[in-house]
Every structure is written in structure tokens, then in C-alpha cells.
Amino acid sequence: MNITACIFDMDGLLIDSESIALDVFQKTCNHYSMGHQLHLYKQLLGTNLKTTQQILSQALPSSIDVTEFTDYWFEHYSALTVQPVPLMKGVENLLDYLEIANIPKAVATSTHTDRALAKLENSGIAHRFSYIIGGDQIVNGKPAPDIYLKAAKALDKAPSTCVGLEDSPNGVKAAFAAGMHVIQIPDIVEPDQALLSLGHTVLKDLDAVIEHLQPVC
């Protein structure tokens, strides 16, 4: 395969923020007396605000206002991610490798662009990406391919020559639908058989991505 660019998800792939989001989500569910809701959280992984609220509108009891629920969740999550969020294993090694190989990089995250930029700046890696495409920049969020197609266009690369790096099932589906070479580094959710049937690559961490790409970069 001819690789001309790498496009990264952010939460749970570049920065270790999904565990924080899950903890706050469960506390939000407890606040609304909903009990344990890991299954619901897994459905929300990788989605932007619009898609998140669409899913919640179907899943939450009718007595709970979706906007109030998401506002409560995001407000408390934001308070915990103002400070730098730790990088995931292998991030800087992979970014170094891609820069040496002259492979351009972008971020395609469902997080709002301003918040994504702030988190990446706080973690010290925002400057290492040519573009940061947030979920507010597209109409259809993951698992639709829109955000990956937009990132590829920004880099002026054909999607078929880009690697899409993801942790969540919704993100994997988005990058796959965009026609990219997809590598998944699972975080909160391991891929099930239905996802594995896509035929994408699953690796343990970003350090392993370097070995996987060496024959083509």
C-alpha cells in the first residue's frame, strides 16, 4: 500500500481521556438515578455532540432532558480535562517516526474543534499536526465517513492512500467507510466479530504501528 498521510482520532488514541469521560458519564447517570450504563456509553464512543444527543434521545427515560444531561456530563468532564491529559503509549514515538518519514498528519476528532485544540495544546502535541478537524466542522458524525474525508481533503491526499488511526468501533467504521487503511488501537472497547469482519488491522498500542508501517513508509 502507498501511504501518503496519517489521520488520527484524539480521545483514547492520542490522549488518555476516555477513562475520564466514562467515569464522569457514569456519575452523570448516577445523578439522574439511571444506574450502571456502560452499554450505553459504548454506543456513544467516537460520536460528535449531534450524534450523541440523537442516541441519548432514544435511550434516556422520557423524564430526562437530553440537553440538560449532556450539559451536566460535558461540564464536569471539561473541568477535569482543563489540565494536561496524559498521552497514550507510543504517541510521541509514532509522531517522530512519521515526521522523519515526511508523512503529514491530521486529527479527525468528534470533539468540538476549540476544545480539541485546547486539549492537544495542553498535552503538548497540537503543533505536530497540520490540521485539527473537529466534530463541529461536519454534518454527519462518526460512524459516517465525513470527518475523515474532510481531513484527507485538507491534507490534499486521496483517502485510499491515508491511514486512519482509531480506538473506537464508531471511529473504525468512519475511517473504513472513507476508504482508508484502518488501524485500531482499542481502549475502552475491544472489537467484536462484526467489527473484525471489516478486515482492518488491530494493534496493541501506537508503538506497534511503527513496526506495521515500516515496510510502506
Query: Helices marked H in the chain — which ranges?
Result: 18-31, 38-44, 49-59, 66-80, 91-100, 113-122, 146-155, 169-177, 193-196, 206-213
Active-site residue, 146 included: no
- 211 residue type, one letter: E
Q: Are 115 and 138 in contact (CB under 8 A)?
A: no
Residues forming a β-bridge with 133: 108
Residues forming a β-bridge with 105: 6
SS3 state of residue 62: coil
Q: Which residue among the candidates 11, 146, 167, 187 is catalytic per the annotation?
A: 11
> Cell 486529527, residue?
107
Active-site residue, 9 included: yes
150 vs 112, 115, 131, 132, 171, CA distance in Å? 15, 19, 10, 10, 14
- Rounded distance between C-alpha atoms, residue 182 and residue 90, angstroms: 18
Provide the annotated active-site residues: 9, 11
